[in-house]
Amino acid sequence: MSQRGNRWRMRLLAGTILALALPPAQPRLGAQEVDLGKLRSIAAAQHEIVVTLLNKKEFAKAAEEANKIFQLKWPADQEPVLLEELLRFSDQFRRNAQSALALRMLQSNMGFFRANKSQVAIWKDMGYLHQGMGQPDKAIECFKEAIRLEETPPIKKLP
Amino acid sequence: MDCRLCSDELTAYLDGELSAADATRIRQHVEACPPCQDELQALRGAADFVESHVQAVEPVPEIWNNLRARIAAMPAPADRSGFFQFLVVNRWAAMLATLASTAVLALGLWGYLAHQAAQQALESYMNDYILERSVAERLYAVQIRQWRNLTSVAGVNWVPVSENPFVDQRPVSLANPFVSEER
Amino acid sequence: MDKRSLDPDGNTVDAASLTQWIGRAKEGDVGAFQRLYDLFARKVLNFIYRMVASAEEAEDLTQETFATVYQKLATLKDDARFEPWLFRIARNYVYQRYRRRTPPMVSVDDQDEEGRTTAELVDERKGPLEAFESEELERVVQRVISDLQEKYREVFILSAIHRLSYQEIAEIVGRSLPSVKTDIHRARLQVRQRVKDYLKV
């Protein structure tokens, strides 16, 4: 059973090496024609690159490569997947004592997320990061922003 | 009351969750209505069956022993006053103390109370979220622990696999790595 | 009839003592915290156990739940809401253990094994059980509960087994009272149907 897993991983690794060997893929896609399959391929490769860089502790470079995923011209229905990915990366940076970098990554990529729900999740994560960094003032501001964007407002009038 | 309305309320009736008035109405309907009587009986029967045969487990001592050890290694419980209380509340308290006239004081008091409520709601919102995140962090720690235990077992080759959301979780062909293959 | 007296988990304690222990536990008094553990561990363990159908996992998650309780106790403003708050935490663990926002720490294959833990308790026999010894009936009940969709399973367990009030259940699952009431009713209808199915010879 584990052989199947190993084979899959080897193939993915081979694919990554291939992707790394090629020149960086600039998504030269027309605004109208968005090939989802192609986007996913690019993103898949970028994901592996980011993970590799994280394992090598090259955090700044990892953040740079991560940004490239969110800059692609994704259709709106991919947003939940992308949100998961963004927050997943944020977690990994935070756990590696790179909260500041995580914050910057969230701030730079927030603009690519249209849905209120996504933005709420991002603001909350930022609040959590600030709280972990001992910045309660900034944390509160982030949570207030999240509340303002909530679809069913939990609080009527913000303090 | 018709049967459809009644049947929706039967579980709440059995659980004692209806108001006295509603409960009476249901009881009266059921007494006069055989199908609803059967329904009530069936629900009651199922509930009794589950209750009398549900497995219960007892907490083993290990749970507490491990817990005790972890608590000892923990920093002191979170600051009792909460980390936001030092902020705006104090500013309001100070402002209140300096207000002179009753009218302004009344407005201030109303504003203060409204503010208190909003402040507490905000705190709940934040605490709920931070609680969720703490749970996630702990589960992550549990996963790491499980992984470490597994990797220490001789001959087992477990590797952290990065969940790539852009790839179908099926083996891909070597020729084109980003095309999922039919299994 | 007092619902609490039907609570199979036993142990009711007066609100005043509970508040006292919570207060002391907030200050770091481990003895007081142990009292809270003694009072609620069985309930929490059984709730989690019925949700995840694995005794080992339930033990792990119970431990984690109380560890979180100890650390976050200060954030509980109203001591009277301790029990719903406690269950909320336990519930968080139950749901989050599937939602991985992190790289899983084991290979893809291991997840198959995890998926099978539900079967640990349930008899692998094919059709409805024929001999009705009490052990078999326990298995039927566990199967019935495990068959329920998570949303219905949790409100069923909380209402029918733990006998919490609908208000408390609404607080624990974070939904409105009417919505919870409907879900509880639906869950019980499903249970009634399945019990009937499983007991048919």
SS (H, E, C) chain A: CHHHHHHHHHHHHHHHHHHHHCCCCCCCCCCCCCCHHHHHHHHHHHHHHHHHHHHCCCHHHHHHHHHHHHHCCCCHHHHHHHHHHHHHHHHHHHHCCCHHHHHHHHHHHHCCCCCHHHHHHHHHHHHHHHHHCCCHHHHHHHHHHHHHHCCCCCCCCCC
Residue B46 shares a structural domain with residue B96: no
Q: Report residue A36's pLDDT band, with 50, 70 and 90 as the boundaries.
A: confident
What is the per-residue pLDDT for A152? 78
Flag the least confident range among B46-55, C34-43, C153-162, C178-187: B46-55
| Neighbors of chain B by Cβ distance (3+ pairs < 8 Å) | A, C
In a domain, A52, yes or no: yes
What is the per-residue pLDDT for C137? 83
In a domain, B75, yes or no: no
Which CATH number fits the domain that encloses residue B15? 1.10.10
pLDDT reading at B84 higher than 80: no
In a domain, B134, yes or no: yes
In a domain, A67, yes or no: yes
pLDDT digits (tens, 9 = 90+) for A92-111: 999 999 999 999 999 999 99
Q: Number of C-alpha atoms within 13 angstroms, CB side, residue A143?
A: 27
Work out the average pLDDT over C100-104: 47
User: What six digits make up the tokens of B35?
Assistant: 């199908």
Domain housing B96 = 87-152
In a domain, B29, yes or no: yes
The answer to whether the predicted template modeling score (pTM) of the entire model surpasses 0.80 is: no
- Whether chain A has a CB inside 8 Å of the CB on C77: the answer is no
pLDDT > 90 in chain C, percent: 51
Dihedral angle, C-alpha A117, A120, A122, A124, nearest 10 °: -140
What is the per-residue pLDDT for B173? 34
What is the per-residue pLDDT for B112? 78
pLDDT reading at B81 higher than 60: no
CB contact under 8 A, C49 and B139: no
Q: By C-alpha distance, which of A85, A87, A154, A157 is closest to A127?
A: A87
Pairwise pLDDT comparison (B181 vs A119), residue with the higher score:
A119
In a domain, A156, yes or no: no
Backbone angles phi, psi at C16, to 5 degrees: -65, -45
B45 near B39, Cβ under 8 Å? no
What is the per-residue pLDDT for C107? 34
In a domain, A100, yes or no: yes
Q: Report residue A153's pLDDT band, with 50, 70 and 90 as the boundaries.
A: confident
CB contact under 8 A, A124 and B164: no
Q: Tell me which residue has tokens 């030269």.
A: A28
For chain C, the structural domain boundaries read 1-116, 122-201
* CB nearest to B53's CB, from C50, C77, C137: C137
In terms of average pLDDT, the best of C92-96, C111-115, C127-131 is C92-96
pLDDT digits (tens, 9 = 90+) for B91-124: 555 555 555 455 556 667 777 788 888 888 888 8
In a domain, B140, yes or no: yes
Cα(A61)–Cα(C120) distance, integer angstroms: 46
In a domain, B138, yes or no: yes
pLDDT reading at B155 higher than 80: no
DSSP 3-state assignment of B45?
Answer: helix
Architecture of domain C1-116: Orthogonal Bundle (1.10)
Work out the average pLDDT over C120-142: 57
In a domain, A81, yes or no: yes
Whether the complex's predicted ipTM surpasses the cut of 0.85? no
pLDDT digits (tens, 9 = 90+) for A51-80: 989 989 999 999 999 999 999 999 999 999
Per CB-CB distance under 8 Å, the chain A contacts of C107 are 2, 5-6
Number of domains observed in the structure of chain B: 2
Number of domains observed in the structure of chain A: 1
Q: Tell me which residue has tokens 């039919």.
A: B182
Boundary residue ending a domain (B53, B78, B95): B53
What is the per-residue pLDDT for C62? 96
DSSP 3-state assignment of C22?
Answer: helix
Sign of CA dihedral B126, B132, B135, B136: negative
Pairwise pLDDT comparison (A16 vs A143), residue with the higher score:
A143
Q: Report residue C100's pLDDT band, with 50, 70 and 90 as the boundaries.
A: low
Domain housing A21 = 2-25+32-149
CATH class of C122-201: mainly alpha
Cα(B60)–Cα(B52) distance, integer angstroms: 23
Residue B144 shares a structural domain with residue B97: yes
Residue B47 shares a structural domain with residue B100: no
What is the per-residue pLDDT for A139? 94
Per CB-CB distance under 8 Å, the chain B contacts of A140 are 84, 87, 122, 126
pLDDT reading at C184 higher than 50: yes
